[in-house]
Amino acid sequence: MRGRRRHGDLEHEILAVLASEEVALTPAQVRDRLGGGLAYNTVTTVLSRLFDKGQATREQTGRAFAYRPVRERAQVTAFQMRRLLDGEDDRAAVLARFVGALTPADEAFLAEMLRRADQEQG
């Protein structure tokens, strides 16, 4: 019998399975590749959490979702920043503190990115 996993171990194992494939995998396929006696619901829950954290994407395949890992760390970080911002009541205060904590180089880069976005929209 296998001992209890440490917090996060199953997430890492599932991400490794997703990363080892070129195609999106359903929860049943992930479960099969992991081997062992994990419940389908356990795998589905972990995949949903990975999606909620921005560490996996999903696409509808029949009645289920199929998942892929997010391979770019910057994409995961941006998603997490957006979720934190969305959870705040005073977005302006959070953004002001964020900008105030930037280095001059980061601030200049952000200003340039905002100018480009404004030009693309206008």
User: Cβ of 16: how many Cβ atoms within 10 Å?
Assistant: 12
Residues 89-111: b if buried by 16+ CB within 10 A, e if exposed: eeeeeeeeeeeeeeeeeeeeeee
> How does residue 1 score in pLDDT terms, banded at 50, 70 and 90?
very low
Least confident of 20-24, 42-46, 77-81: 77-81
CATH architecture of the domain 9-69 equals Orthogonal Bundle (1.10)
For residue 121, the model assigns a pLDDT of 87
Closest by alpha carbon to 75, among 56, 94, 96, 102? 56
- What is the mean pLDDT of the segment spanning 31-38? 89
For residue 4, the model assigns a pLDDT of 63
Q: Is 3 left (phi over 0), alpha (psi -120 to 50) or beta?
A: beta
Map out the domains of the chain as residue ranges: 9-69, 73-121
pLDDT tens-digit map of 81-106: 888 898 899 999 999 999 999 999 99
Q: Whole-number mean pLDDT of the chain?
A: 90
> How does residue 5 score in pLDDT terms, banded at 50, 70 and 90?
low
**The model scores a pTM over 0.75:** no
Closest by alpha carbon to 31, among 17, 21, 20? 17
